[in-house]
Amino acid sequence: MKVVEAFNKGTPSLSFEFFPPKTAEQETKLFAAIDQLKNFHPNFVSVTYGAMGRTREKTFFWVNEIKRKYGIEPVAHLTCVAASKEEIAHQLDELEKIGTTNILALRGDPPVGEKDFVPPVNGFRLAKELIAFIKQSKPQMCVGAAGFPESHPAAPSVYKDTEYLKAKVEAGAEYIITQLFFDNRRYFEFIGRCEKAGITIPIIPGLMPITNLHQIKKMTETCGATIPGDLLAKLEKHPADVAKIGAEHTLAQANGLLKSGVKGLHFFVMNQAEPISRILSELKK
The residues carrying an active-site annotation are 17
For the chain, the residue count is: 285
> Contact 210/242 with Cβ under 8 angstroms?
yes
3-state helix vs strand vs coil in the chain, percent to 5: 50, 15, 35
* DSSP state string for 164-221: HHHHHHHHT--EEEEEE-S-HHHHHHHHHHHHHHT--S-EEEEE-----HHHHHHHHH
Three-state secondary structure call for residue 263:
coil
Q: What are phi and psi of 7, to 5 degrees?
A: -90, 0
Instruction: Please give the Cα distance from 57 to 261 (Å, whole number).
Output: 37
Pairing, β 74-79 against β 102-106:
parallel
Longest dimension (CA), the chain: 52
Q: What are phi and psi of 92, to 5 degrees?
A: -65, -40
Q: How many other C-beta atoms can be found within 10 angstroms of the C-beta atom of residue 167? A: 17
> Contact 280/250 with Cβ under 8 angstroms?
no
117 Cβ neighbours under 8 A, 6+ residues apart: 80, 107, 108, 109, 110, 125, 154
